[in-house]
Structure 1
Amino acid sequence: MRGRRLTAATAGVGVAAAALVGAAVVGARADAGTTRADAGGRAAPPGLARFQRQEIAWHRCQTGPDDATGKELDEAKAQCAEVVVPLDYSRPGGRTIKVAISRLKATDPGRRRGALLYNPGGPGVPATYLVLQVKRVAPTVAARYDLIGMDPRFVGHSTPLNCDWPSVAVGSAGPDRRSFDRTAELAKDLASRCAAHRDVLPHASTRNTARDMDVIRAALGETKLSYLGSSYGTYLGEVYLQLFPRRADRVVLDSAIDPDRFGPDSARTQGPALAGVLRNWASWAARHHDRYDLGATAAQVLATVNRINQAVNRGPLRVGDHRLDSRLLPLILFNVTGGDSDEAYGSFAADIRVLRDAARGVKVTPTPVLDQVLAGFASPDADGTSSVQNAIMCADRAASRDPEAYYRDIQAHRADEPLFGPLIRNLTPCSFWPASPAEPPTKVRNAVPVLMVGATGDPGVPYADQLAAHRALTGSRMVTLRGAFRHTVYGGLFAPRNTCVDDAVNGYLVDGVLPAEDATCANTPSAGKG
């Protein structure tokens, strides 16, 4: 997940992790269409030519009077469109779906480099609107590239999938067998509600989204595609590089996921990184004890958090109008990953102070952020965000269907991961999913030139996983932000800006020169440059 305060729409969806196994190229059957050359001069796979050569009908972005993001895109002179793609790339003559895209044209057309597609992570996050953020933080990049946003298949405006879930997250397994069994029943119920979509679920995979990207590239008339991906977006970029290595131009991966580990159980490796960011926040809170009164030392602050956890394990806490139980508390504590700025840490500390008082039996009023997040957890998944996030991960890799394996794993780590272990090691709806992946995960191993950036204390993608991605992409160079506890590091998109990181990324995208060797940046706050 991206480095920001979590909301009910994103909390509890793990990032990092999954299986390995074979990488196949696009396997289109020759049962529809003829072979034609695409913009790259190579023959399109049989049946795909009609998709790659389709004419894009650009139009205004606002879909109605209540569409504020569409209005903002229109005001920025963006264009929107829908690109038709196969539901199943092995059957291009069969059912089709539409993928929504946006475009901000290069502001310096005389020096235009090409098209740059941006994916912010998730999975399952609409990105048509987010091209505006890229232009805002990186005007020199926006000058040279048409910025392309895409709502991935089944997300946002792209033939959306919604299982009408009554809850947005399974949450933590809690303190005992009884609480674990309750989450297993919830996960099973959520999965069953997606059964009506079993005909499309196997095709929600990252591999197919990468294939959609290449159809978009060809339909745009581009020989190659540049790409900026963060968090889950790095995995999408890694898969694209493996499937279409000759189509990639300049590629930047921010907080790169180990491609051998992404999938339904992806969060399992996050324990040490989560403990690290919690300790870092605790040290910060201790230095601000006069304001937050959580403890004068990091150990005292952590003891305060542990007492909250112990109280919730004994029974639910009343937090304003909300009921906070052991299933939800770790999701609230996960918000410590929202960034290592004073603002983010202070907001989290204010929430912990409220929970501390609630654990003491004091009548409390939640902070506005805490109130919003708790309300979100109590609300249904109205727009389908959580169900489609799970659909993508379930399509990428099959999860274990043995609840006992999850329970044994949780029990084995209760001592060393008492706060987050029951959350990150718990089963998910993928353990009961009504459809199996159509293909094995992509094994990423190539030498395509790539620039990677990331932080040593990243709580969303542990640094060891970033290094594994670096090894898999042998043509990559890595710029590491030392001593930072944030998820994503470029441009201030979801974390504080760092001039050293921004200069490396912007320099590569504009000038095309990778660093001669891996480099490091100091964790010093800065305004950054575009």
Structure 2
Amino acid sequence: MRGRGTVAVLATVLTAFTGTATARADDGLARFEKQGIDWHGCQNGPDDEAGKELDAAKAQCAEVTVPLDYGRPGGRTIKVAMSRLRATDPAHRRGTLFYNPGGPGVPVTYLALMVKKAEPEVAARYDLIGMDPRFVGRSTPLNCGWPGAIVGSAGPDRRSFDRTTALARDLAARCAVHRDVLPHVSTRNTARDMDVIRAALGERKLSYLGSSYGTYLGAVYLQMFPGRADRVVLDSVLDVDRYGPDLARYQGPALAGVMRDWAAWTARHHDRYRLGRTAGEVLAVIDRIDRAANRGPLKVGRFRVDSRVLPMIMFNVTGGDSDEAYGSFAADVRVLGDAAKGIKVTPTPVLEQVLTGFSAPDAEGAAAVQNAIFCADRAASRDPEAYYRDIQAHRADEPLFGPLIRNLTPCSFWPVAPAEPPTRVRNDVPVLMVGATGDPGAPYPGQLATHRALTGSRLVTLRGAFRHTVYAGLFAPGNACVDRVVNRYLVDGVMPATDTTCS
């Protein structure tokens, strides 16, 4: 009896340490993990340009069935869409690499093709998987019928804050019709979907490349399925302990930093943009535009830019620190500066596109799903007064961006609570992290915090750069030093012995 009891205790201990890996036989997921995958072409109709390009690249597309609620795998199911680009060097194929560029709520089926184009050496060794997260893109849809996609900035005073509060409450109420689904629109469930697809593909492990929100998804996967991760790269890493509906409130110093860097660049190009010969003069123009919008809407072509919208336009300073990106933003600021003076202006093509997007309804449900993911991952404060006090406390040091990044969201009025607590990420799985010191979207102190939480990680730091995402030039200027380190890891499996700095 003693021997049998010892074995039973040992089995219990092993189960506790290995987590989900030892519970597969009776967790109800076998039928999902063993399902056949019906690969087909990617183009959905004559107007599907993304699908047409995927087909031209010889991609395959498919939909995989997964449980809506992993706690009830015998219940309702949904479809998760994905694309696959086969490794171009099958003889040296390493495995399957999942890609998620961020969001949350960004379709990925097409974007996997960007990795193939940017890094052919990686595409040679891996089948590239672009998975549309649940309820995103080509996956089973979720649409709350929002008349607009944004809450925006709280503006200059109590009245403007109350207007955005009413808007956030209304948007949340419109999602109540989906209250049976909303608790399951979570990052943890997306990670589970990834693991089902891994199994259905017949892969023992998966490799992963994620940026921005994709780094949080990757970190959650590592925490939930540590034994199933092969080579993992996290680019521009979010703070895993602060991730949630209020994540943006920690961006203030980083936003101020990139704005100063842009202002210095613009001052050096005064002859072209005429916004000031010093960084201080350029920043004074930003302040004048902000104060003008607080007094009343600016007329910009057919649009009206008020205090709710202006900070979101100014947020475009985070689009990258290349000459092209900074120049595009400077051109928009020049238009807004003239509008603030009462001059009749025509928006630049970029500004026209941005303002059109801000005024459009959430026709495809993308904004609602993005909010649903945040709300399912972590509960927000349901006290509007807490947000107003926070905004007021930071008006002096964050006059432009504070009312935007510290404002409440629909999560404060969300019709359902999260089904699970937030994931506490603490593990020693090997991970390669990359990030820029001036990243405005994933502030560097938060990257360091996640680096400490992932004790098996190595960090490649790009010094003096003000960009969000740094690897392969996928969304911001690339860096040859960073790319060499990452590719050596993905292709050859060589992890840096210590943290590394690039410039």
In 2: Cα distance, 1:265 partner to 1:43 partner: 35
User: 1:486-497 residue pairs with structure 2 within 5 A?
Assistant: 486-497=467-478
In 1: Cα distance, 2:67 partner to 2:153 partner: 37
Matching residue of 1:234 = 215
Residues 209-254 of structure 1, C-alpha deviation per residue, up to 9 Å, x if partnerless? 0000000000000000000000000000000000000000000000
In 2: Cα distance, 1:376 partner to 1:143 partner: 37
In 1: Cα distance, 2:284 partner to 2:250 partner: 24
In 1: Cα distance, 2:357 partner to 2:44 partner: 25
User: 1:46-57 residue pairs with structure 2 within 5 A?
Assistant: 46-57=27-38
One-letter amino acid of the structure 1 residue matched with residue 183 of structure 2: P
Q: Does 1:449 align with 2:430?
A: yes
Q: Does 1:116 align with 2:97?
A: yes
Matching residue of 1:318 = 299
Give % identity: 78
Deviation of 1:43 (Å): 3.7
Residues 21-48 of structure 1, C-alpha deviation per residue, up to 9 Å, x if partnerless? xxx99999xxxxxxxxxxx998445201
User: 1:110-149 residue pairs with structure 2 within 5 A?
Assistant: 110-149=91-130
Matching residue of 2:312 = 331
One-letter amino acid of the structure 2 residue matched with residue 187 of structure 1: A
Q: Does 1:385 align with 2:369?
A: no
User: 1:273-284 residue pairs with structure 2 within 5 A?
Assistant: 273-284=254-265
User: 1:393-472 residue pairs with structure 2 within 5 A?
Assistant: 393-472=374-453
User: 1:20-31 residue pairs with structure 2 within 5 A?
Assistant: none
User: Residues 119, 25 of structure 1: CA spacing in aligned structure 2 closer, same or farther, 3 A cutoff?
Assistant: farther
State the SS of the aligned residue for 2:237. Answer: coil
State the SS of the aligned residue for 1:227. Answer: strand
Deviation of 1:376 (Å): 1.2
In 2: Cα distance, 1:261 partner to 1:44 partner: 35
Matching residue of 1:8 = none
Matching residue of 1:185 = 166
CA contact (8 A) 1:84 1:97 kept: yes
CA contact (8 A) 1:112 1:143 kept: yes
One-letter amino acid of the structure 2 residue matched with residue 273 of structure 1: A
Matching residue of 1:34 = none
- Which one of 346, 355, 378 corresponds to residue 374 of structure 1? 355
Residues 280-322 of structure 1, C-alpha deviation per residue, up to 9 Å, x if partnerless? 0000000001110101100000000000000010111100110
In 2: Cα distance, 1:415 partner to 1:135 partner: 46
Matching residue of 1:340 = 321
State the SS of the aligned residue for 1:92. Answer: coil
In 2: Cα distance, 1:27 partner to 1:390 partner: 30
Deviation of 1:487 (Å): 0.1
State the SS of the aligned residue for 2:167. Answer: helix
In 2: Cα distance, 1:378 partner to 1:49 partner: 46
Q: Does 1:253 align with 2:234?
A: yes
CA contact (8 A) 1:27 1:89 kept: no
In 2: Cα distance, 1:348 partner to 1:414 partner: 24
Identify unmatched segments of 5+ residues in structure 1.
Answer: 1-23, 29-39, 523-530
One-letter amino acid of the structure 1 residue matched with residue 305 of structure 2: L
Residues 492-513 of structure 1, C-alpha deviation per residue, up to 9 Å, x if partnerless? 1001111000011111000111
**CA root-mean-square deviation:** 1.4
Q: Does 1:272 align with 2:253?
A: yes
In 2: Cα distance, 1:73 partner to 1:421 partner: 41
In 2: Cα distance, 1:452 partner to 1:349 partner: 31
User: 1:57-206 residue pairs with structure 2 within 5 A?
Assistant: 57-206=38-187
In 1: Cα distance, 2:147 partner to 2:487 partner: 43
User: Residues 41, 191 of structure 1: CA spacing in aligned structure 2 closer, same or farther, 3 A cutoff?
Assistant: closer
Residues 186-214 of structure 1, C-alpha deviation per residue, up to 9 Å, x if partnerless? 00011111011110000000000000000
Q: Does 1:349 align with 2:330?
A: yes
Matching residue of 1:478 = 459
Deviation of 1:110 (Å): 0.6
Identify unmatched segments of 5+ residues in structure 2.
Answer: 1-15
Deviation of 1:429 (Å): 0.4
Residues 404-439 of structure 1, C-alpha deviation per residue, up to 9 Å, x if partnerless? 000000000000000100000000000010111000
- Which one of 190, 201, 206 corresponds to residue 225 of structure 1? 206
In 1: Cα distance, 2:18 partner to 2:108 partner: 24
Deviation of 1:375 (Å): 1.3
State the SS of the aligned residue for 2:156. Answer: coil
In 1: Cα distance, 2:111 partner to 2:158 partner: 42
Residues 54-90 of structure 1, C-alpha deviation per residue, up to 9 Å, x if partnerless? 1111111111111111111111100000111100001
Q: Does 1:501 align with 2:482?
A: yes
CA contact (8 A) 1:479 1:520 kept: yes
State the SS of the aligned residue for 1:255. Answer: strand
In 2: Cα distance, 1:269 partner to 1:186 partner: 23
In 2: Cα distance, 1:59 partner to 1:99 partner: 14
Compute the TM-score of the two structures, normalised by the length of structure 1.
0.91
CA contact (8 A) 1:85 1:96 kept: yes
User: Residues 45, 491 of structure 1: CA spacing in aligned structure 2 closer, same or farther, 3 A cutoff?
Assistant: farther
Matching residue of 1:37 = none
**Bigger relative contact order (CA 8 A; separation at least 6):** 1
Residues 134-190 of structure 1, C-alpha deviation per residue, up to 9 Å, x if partnerless? 000110110010000000000011101111111111000000000000000000011
In 2: Cα distance, 1:306 partner to 1:354 partner: 14
Compute the TM-score of the two structures, normalised by the length of structure 2.
0.96
In 2: Cα distance, 1:166 partner to 1:220 partner: 39
State the SS of the aligned residue for 1:491. Answer: helix
